Structure 1
């Protein structure tokens, strides 16, 4: 798989590859979960008998019914009217003014002869018309002919006074009560009747009086538009919206689907012909957010190479999609049981695998994502949008697993962690059962207890079974695998111990140095330690040619030319790689063996050869490499040289060790051995400091005890 990923990265840059993998993951998740948000729909028609009882899957407002109810309430509102007493007084004043003009013009008629009176009458009629024209704007209804004006001017003062009083009284009586637009005609008819049948009203003036009185009446109670509008709005607002509640029965089994029921089925989207697309878009948005979070997580990780990050993306996607698919299988069985089958889902399997194989941050994010997805998958249709009890169950169980896996040292500890997660599951289910305030039967309580235990134990069991396949398939060396490889009973470690005991001891010392330094700079200390155990296994091919395994002072190199000795020393790297590959050791361990010398120069034999031939090619005395590609391998490269050099010191002390460690580290740096890894100068100084502290503890000055006296 690593080779495949390497080829992919040569063709596609990591960000594009990451986006592509997550896009495929999101599409597959959408296809798996799309049925969970579609809901159930019914192919019903008007006046058809419902084959089953149908409930609303959500709360919706019936806007059409709400509008009808509010319109009906608005129509029932009584308009607000305003009565104006002032209008009545104004109209009476106009009537009095009219008769004042008549009386005033009557007084101006002089002369005794008929001819003179006739002339004066015409003159005052004209004057009276002008006076009445001034009233036309306020008293527009009075239309009197010249004949009418002649009658008024010729009437006696007693007749004018009587007519005035009767008209004023009639108008006052009518205007003292509210008159609306629709009541004005009745009021005019009443005042006309009162005058027409009045015995005191001058007979010759009744026609004129009726017209004056009728036109004096006006509307004195008008509609207050603002107040009426406010009252209508208040009435409309007091009508609550008509809602179809979630879980509400819309139609009973065997009931005829009338227009009202059909309309409610349309609103709730339960008809096949009125299926809403909004849930599908909502699911797409959720998955998009989840993939964005994963993209940001892997994109921002600077501690791993693109190859490792790509491998982690593939593992995360596989584990995540497998978990979603498993949930869907559980969901298929959900309808067959009255209990929540989702509580049987192995809550800890995904976080356990990802915590071990990828990282804690990835495990946490994926746990939350699975919880949200489970809430949608296990939703109960008409009761909830997200099944929160199952969502929280998966999140809490997963988080508990992540916390407890920090202390896992081998595979057998996984089952112990499973029991711890089971306890957390039981506590959560107890919380859920108590909070629902429902009385459960013994068989239901037993089910939930068993579900909590089975969920956790199944997580551990499946994880133990799946881990080896993922480790071998992706070439992963997990902490479990490393701990297994560190067992002294491993055949290869026993081979080193038996065939090259000095190398074995050297490897243990290098492992101590490398592990401490790796932990100080945030690298994988366990990988460094185990890698050191096997890094010199190639020396078992010719153990006697390496100084730590030489006994009785015999050194076979004394009998060989420098170039032959150099070839033997250099060959232990290739020999070690062959042995490790033959035993199918993890790639990371093989890389340690291959890179722990980088391309360094075998100085002793190079300078010895140069004494014999000054033109000797330096490259023949260098290791084949490659140079260290990771921090762990760079640290092991330095630790290997430091341990061998310090062991050769006579009377080592802190100052000598410090100078020697610094010299070796700087020599590796200047030789370009760290050019292909991400080791910084600051980290190199930290490594030197840790090496010195560790070596000082190993080669400290010993107290010289006094010799026992002889008796």
Structure 2
């Protein structure tokens, strides 16, 4: 029942991640061809998949709109003016400005001339509110509910009015001419006015009549052949087809099929990742927390990239997708990191433009990330990795541009800036790893580096309370780290586990041989059962101390398993001599047995280092015999059955430990006297 429940959890995880990813996918379809103006069409001959109208170029459409605006007639309306009243006011004004004799001599004549002028002026139309129009621009004048087609130049404007008045009064003396002109200009009123509201409505109507398309491409008509240059009409037709795909509205049936296809493809990709983990990383497969961490990161980077594409597809290379394999490698290993990167790149190829170029660039960058130094906790290694990634981006883009354009002139420098920004974003992997450690309670190499500091609070306390145990832990750490390097295990993890594996001895330090410097052994006053219990309790005490010190579970595992479920053999043998029917379970460690390559290495290194202290005259033969005896007895007791360790690796560990112990005891060949 439990197995089925665990399988259901994993299926639910894949289904949930698939749903999240597909939800953030673009709802519109994407044109599957990538092209650029001036480049040859590198695909097969393209035929129209359906009939569609050709969209006009934006510049052409804007030009037609501007032309319609300029050619649309402006509307004006006319109001009647009482010329008799205007003449009376004009006459009174002139009369007050000239002498009575001059008025009597000229009034009849200038009144007749002025009346005739005003009649002609208002018959044509006088506009005082100037408009930015040419004289030939058509206008429509509404007068007494009648519409008259004119040009703007037909109207009398203020400048023309003054000029006409000078001609009308030219027969009068200069002084009188000036008085008449000035007085009339002050009194004359416009009778034509600009109708902006009606004009704007007409302009809008004319603009709306402009068609955004020109011509029609029939279904199965050839659009462009392979090798033809993408320019002119062909470019506009391709742009139209591209826009049609992006704005295409799907029927419910079509959309459901499209959605089903996405769900199947993404689900298959995520299932392949789960099968890979099951086959090659079974310890990860058995941990739902670790699986959640991996799939969460996949969803995170897919959602981030899809969101950026929706905002502006040009920014897609700013998203630090190569951070994913770096994170996975920091917590697990390079092989899982690379496979995860391959899966996410395949998924993202559905949403990014220029998917072929994107696949190649990101694949190369991901491989460089995996091949870079594993120790990303070293600042230099991370900066070198980022530099390599940016360089790969640059070189790959250079090559693609050279292939497509047949040269490198005119390439997009903004793309290089995006690559640099992506590299800078990669530097945030440190704080991101720290956040993931706290959220998912995982351990990365960065945390292991911090824990390996012998000046940490817990290790300093160990060195003060149990100096012999601290020295023993350092020796075990050196041996285990060397063995891990030899067989390809996580050497940093083994080293840290070795440093903390005996912290439980701080509870009763003098009951352990390495801390008995004064030659007094408190076990001499205890029964074998009591002594064995004190020895066994250092496991339980160690776990409690580690939890209080907030050590990660991955390190606490080394404390639990470094003795497995083996016997406290010395006191068991002593008790058996006193009582042959003694209960063996009282002398057995609680376990569990080592269940990883690293915990198995620590068990071997701890047992061998402790036993080597009993060698009175250490020699190469004695060390070889000791190492073989201890490791073989552990194998015979089945201590490594749960650990993913092979006979070949065990033999390699034996060889490394023998050499390490020989160097620790400074063994040299004996020279003849």
Question: Is the shorter-chain TM-score for this pair beyond 0.5, marking a shared fold?
Answer: yes
Asked if 1:296 corresponds to 2:275, the answer is: yes
Segments of structure 1 that go 5 or more residues without pairing to the other structure are 1-7, 41-57, 66-239, 254-260, 380-385
Change (3 A) 1:606 1:695: same
Per-residue deviation, 1:532: 0.8
Question: How far, CA to CA, are the matches of 1:250 and 1:435 in structure 2?
Answer: 24
Q: What corresponds to 2:420 in structure 1?
A: 453
Q: What corresponds to 1:565 in structure 2?
A: 531
Asked if 1:327 corresponds to 2:342, the answer is: no
Q: What corresponds to 1:12 in structure 2?
A: 5
Matched residue of 1:627: which SS?
A: coil
Whether the aligned pair in 2 keeps the contact of 1:510 and 1:636 (CA below 8 Å) is: yes
Counterpart among 476, 492, 509 of residue 510 in structure 1: 476
Whether the aligned pair in 2 keeps the contact of 1:351 and 1:402 (CA below 8 Å) is: yes
Per-residue deviation, 1:536: 0.7
Matched residue of 1:300: which SS?
A: helix
Question: How far, CA to CA, are the matches of 1:598 and 1:267 in structure 2?
Answer: 63
Asked if 1:27 corresponds to 2:19, the answer is: yes
Question: How far, CA to CA, are the matches of 2:360 and 2:300 in structure 1?
Answer: 20
Matched residue of 2:374: which SS?
A: helix
Deviations 1:58-80 (A, max 9, x none): 94347999xxxxxxxxxxxxxxx
Whether the aligned pair in 1 keeps the contact of 2:31 and 2:246 (CA below 8 Å) is: no
Whether the aligned pair in 2 keeps the contact of 1:37 and 1:280 (CA below 8 Å) is: no
Question: How far, CA to CA, are the matches of 1:272 and 1:623 in structure 2?
Answer: 67
Counterpart among 334, 340, 350 of residue 366 in structure 1: 340
Per-residue deviation, 1:276: 5.8
Q: What corresponds to 2:496 in structure 1?
A: 530
Question: How far, CA to CA, are the matches of 1:570 and 1:367 in structure 2?
Answer: 45
Whether the aligned pair in 1 keeps the contact of 2:284 and 2:290 (CA below 8 Å) is: no
Change (3 A) 1:334 1:682: closer
Matched residue of 1:376: which SS?
A: coil
Q: What corresponds to 2:562 in structure 1?
A: 596
Q: What corresponds to 2:588 in structure 1?
A: 622
Q: What corresponds to 1:499 in structure 2?
A: 465
Whether the aligned pair in 1 keeps the contact of 2:604 and 2:631 (CA below 8 Å) is: yes
Counterpart among 60, 65, 84 of residue 47 in structure 2: 60
Matched residue of 2:454: which SS?
A: coil
TM-score normalised to structure 1 length: 0.60
Bigger radius of gyration, 1 or 2? Answer: 1
Counterpart among 519, 524, 530 of residue 553 in structure 1: 519
Matched residue of 2:557: which SS?
A: helix
Cα RMSD after superposing both structures: 3.9
Whether the aligned pair in 2 keeps the contact of 1:37 and 1:376 (CA below 8 Å) is: no
Change (3 A) 1:515 1:24: same
Per-residue deviation, 1:390: 3.4
Question: How far, CA to CA, are the matches of 1:11 and 1:397 in structure 2?
Answer: 39
Q: How many matched pairs? A: 486
Whether the aligned pair in 2 keeps the contact of 1:429 and 1:452 (CA below 8 Å) is: no
Question: How far, CA to CA, are the matches of 2:627 and 2:361 in structure 1?
Answer: 53
Asked if 1:658 corresponds to 2:624, the answer is: yes
Per-residue deviation, 1:37: 2.5
Counterpart among 242, 260, 264 of residue 221 in structure 2: 242
Change (3 A) 1:495 1:275: same
Question: How far, CA to CA, are the matches of 1:454 and 1:62 in structure 2?
Answer: 39
Q: What corresponds to 1:378 in structure 2?
A: 352
Change (3 A) 1:332 1:694: same
Q: What corresponds to 1:218 in structure 2?
A: none
Segments of structure 2 that go 5 or more residues without pairing to the other structure are 33-44, 53-218, 225-229
TM-score normalised to structure 2 length: 0.64
Question: How far, CA to CA, are the matches of 2:274 and 2:452 in structure 1?
Answer: 35
Per-residue deviation, 1:617: 2.2
Whether the aligned pair in 2 keeps the contact of 1:348 and 1:456 (CA below 8 Å) is: no
Question: How far, CA to CA, are the matches of 2:49 and 2:568 in structure 1?
Answer: 87
Per-residue deviation, 1:325: 1.0
Question: How far, CA to CA, are the matches of 2:347 and 2:580 in structure 1?
Answer: 72
